[in-house]
Amino acid sequence: MLDAALQRRLVFITGKGGVGRTAVALSLALAAVRAGKRTLVVEVNPLGRLGEYLGDRTLTPEPTEITPELAAATIAPTVILEDFLAGMLRIRALARRLLESNTFRVVTAAAPGLEDFLTLVRIAEWEDERVGFKRKRHRFDLVIVDAPATGHSVPLLSTPDTLLKMLPFGPLTSTARDLAMLLGDPKRAAVAIVTRAEEMAVNETLELATALMRIGVTLLPAIVNAVDPFRFTRPEGRRVAAEPPDLPPDWAPYLGVARFTLARQRAAERQIRRLTQALPEKPICLPTVAAGKLTLETLEPLADALAHPRASTSRRAS
Amino acid sequence: MTEPEAQTPIVDADQAGEPVVDSPLSPLLDTQRLIVCVGSGGVGKTTTAAALGIASAKRGRQTAVLTIDPARRLRDALGITTLDGEPHRVPLGRRGVKGSLDAMVLDTKRTFDELIQRYAPTSAAAERVLTNRIYASVSTVLAGSQEYMAMERLHALAGSGHYDLLVVDTPPTQHALDFLEAPERLTALLTSRAAAILQNPSLILAREGSRLAQAALSAVLRGLERFTGFEMLRDVAEFVGGLEEFSAGFQERAAAVAQFLREPATSFVLVTTAAPARVAETLAFHRELVRAGLPFAGFVVNRVLPPGLLGDPPFPDIERASDEDRDLGHKLVALQRRFAEMVHAERAEIDRLRAAAPGALVVEVPLATDEPSSLSRLITLSRALG
């Protein structure tokens, strides 16, 4: 997974709401930094928690240096619209006034895809940004996008194509074409779906994978987040599940928790197996992190798991 | 409620008619006319709304559950085959279910269409808006319109007289009360002199009356037109102008919906899990509800670890076990300790909820080993709720 991601320059992380997209995006960034990549992690959600995980920082649309190798930024649609308008108006105060107008809000709502388009333009600029002598060096080796949840990811990633169909000619066409080429280039861009070992999350993942393949983006292996690191081996599972249990008789007080955990483990393994069978590549499992505040330190185990996936539990399901 | 799920056979849908067990929410299900489920994404809000609906039907009431965007399996479980906003009868089995349950998915655009037809002064005026090219995108994209339409639909359903109780789950929002502010936002738009402004866009920047500002604005508007590729501004002007004719009706309606949400027969239920981050969000939602003067009834805490599984002491000494048993024994001891810590942490979070809202109902729904995506699982779940 990590190698596949590191070969690209732009990786989108998407998935169902609440599965831990931001934590996974940041863990992937950590793993990339460890592999020597200068990495930018971008959050496309004005109310996201990326800044919180990075030690309660306020992120801005301009990349903030977290460490010399890691930068973070946030893209808020209103800010990006304001920038767009300011670029046209040359006077920011006017742009802001315009954005405050109710009427103008209707106008932008009526131009669906405008915000998505501007978001992608910004991301592509970072992907292509060059610094140093004769601008030969990329500013970032890898740009990781903490993308919107499932429902919004497909429209976001298909914006260039939609636009090209809508406006085959015009001033934005060449930009849209460049974006479409970037997103469709398997050498440069790829998408990873984050999920959980739960039935509804897996259903949504399989639907999303189909939709993403249809729009022609390259899929990385799915990432199953928050898999319980505790595991009964198959023989252990059989002993706990047997009726009567194949355990010393005085161990009965442990049985309630053991059987409950085993049943949850088996249900999770069933879901991981569904992903393995339906997707072209085996999913990567990430362990649950300790409860409490997420920080770069608490995400280390996830970065480890991305760099060195254990032989997945999926094949050993009982 | 705390049986190890591993051994629980999946019940048949026919068992819905078995004896009704009371939960702290039962009185709400017997007396209220509207229950609004609010909570962060991924806590099981839609599932809870569906299970409350089933519980209400079992208690003999004609019930409807309106959901915003259910996962496909849940839709299948509820027998919702199309997303057309029509009620679908949920097959709760034959024996002993005195009430009934209809499920429906919100169709934002259709509800908006109906609203426009109802308040248009003439059918020609309605037609002008409905056939407007940008109407379709505005009616679904405009911030809060989905939430507002959910409330609008509820109000219409309540007025239909078909149902004793309506249960609704709200869209996943960062702010619990977005749906409450939506009517205001919509009417603000209508009273914003929008039509006048669009006929003479320079009015937006009236205070920047300079020639420079006017020139700059025209540049922006031209740029936006280039982006959308059609005569968008004229369409917007027509659309907003058309809507303005209905503004009085809209505002009256919005006031009626706001009133409906504050009636004594309405209850807000906050859905959460016992995870610390979710509890913090839930407490923030709770403060918002209280501040807005909405009738908050209680919390449904989903996916709670069943404390009953912890077992009774004495816990045996694993070290005396045979060599072949000892590894597994150590694993069981570690598992037991971890489970106890997790239960302890969850109890602390649930206590935080109780402390923040003294007197509020708190219903815990135990974590199951499988997901409540089939009707039989929903029926099992409904037992915990009423």
pTM over 0.90: no
In angstroms, what separates the C-alpha of B107 from chain A's closest C-alpha? 16
Please check whether residue B71 is in contact with residue B373, taking contact to mean a CB–CB distance below 8 angstroms: yes
CA distances from B94 to A3, A72, B13, B16, B99 (A): 57, 58, 9, 8, 11
Query: Residue B373 — very low, low, confident or very high, per pLDDT cuts 50/70/90?
Result: low
**Residue B315: which of A89, A105, A253 has the nearest Cβ?**
A253
B73 in contact with A, Cβ within 8 Å: yes
Mean pLDDT of B112-124: 82
Q: A206: number of CA atoms within 13 Å, CB side?
A: 17
pLDDT of residue A11: 98
pLDDT of residue A210: 95
Share of chain B above pLDDT 90, in %: 31
Residues 6 or more apart in contact with residue A138 via CB below 8 angstroms:
A9, A38, A128, A129, A130, A131
Q: Show the CA angle centred on residue A307, arms to residues A122 and A207, nearest 5°.
A: 60
Of B9 and A31, the structure prediction assigns the larger pLDDT to: A31
Q: Minimal Cα distance from B216: which residue of A?
A: A89
d(C-alpha A238, C-alpha A316), whole Å = 13
Upstream peptide bond of A301 is cis (omega within 30 degrees of 0): no
Q: Minimal Cα distance from B343: which residue of A?
A: A257
Closest CA to B227 of A6, A93, A58, A159: A159
pLDDT of residue A256: 94
Mean pLDDT of A122-148: 93
DSSP string spanning B303-331?
A: EE--GGGG--SPPP-GGGS-HHHHHHHHH
Share of chain A above pLDDT 90, in %: 64
pLDDT of residue B13: 38
CB contact under 8 A, B223 and A255: no
Query: Is a pLDDT exceeding 70 seen at residue B189?
Result: no
Query: Residue B133 — very low, low, confident or very high, per pLDDT cuts 50/70/90?
Result: low
Write down the mean pLDDT value for chain B: 78
The pLDDT tens digits of the residues spanning A108-122 come to 655 556 778 889 999
Query: Residue B372 — very low, low, confident or very high, per pLDDT cuts 50/70/90?
Result: low
Q: Minimal Cα distance from B135: which residue of A?
A: A110
pLDDT of residue B68: 76
Alpha helices in chain A (DSSP H): 2-6, 21-34, 50-53, 77-89, 92-100, 102-109, 114-128, 150-166, 173-184, 199-214, 234-241, 255-278, 300-307
Closest CA to A53 of A78, A38, A70, A68: A70
The pLDDT tens digits of the residues spanning B58-99 come to 999 999 999 876 667 677 778 777 767 788 899 887 666 889
The pLDDT tens digits of the residues spanning B299-337 come to 999 999 998 898 777 788 888 888 888 999 999 999 999
Query: Residue B14 — very low, low, confident or very high, per pLDDT cuts 50/70/90?
Result: very low
Query: Is a pLDDT exceeding 90 seen at residue B180?
Result: no
d(C-alpha B74, C-alpha B79), whole Å = 8
d(C-alpha B87, C-alpha B79), whole Å = 10
Cβ neighbours of A203 in B, within 8 Å: 71-73
Query: Is a pLDDT exceeding 90 seen at residue B152?
Result: no
- Chain A, 104-143: which have a CB under 8 Å from a chain B CB? 104-112, 114, 117
- Chain A, 56-115: which have a CB under 8 Å from a chain B CB? 85, 88-91, 93-94, 97-98, 101-112, 114
Query: Is a pLDDT exceeding 90 seen at residue A304?
Result: yes
- Chain A, 201-220: which have a CB under 8 Å from a chain B CB? 203-204, 207
Query: Is a pLDDT exceeding 50 seen at residue B7?
Result: no
Cβ neighbours of A198 in B, within 8 Å: 371
d(C-alpha A204, C-alpha B349), whole Å = 30
Chains A, B: CB contacts under 8 A, how many? 186
Query: Is a pLDDT exceeding 80 seen at residue B192?
Result: no
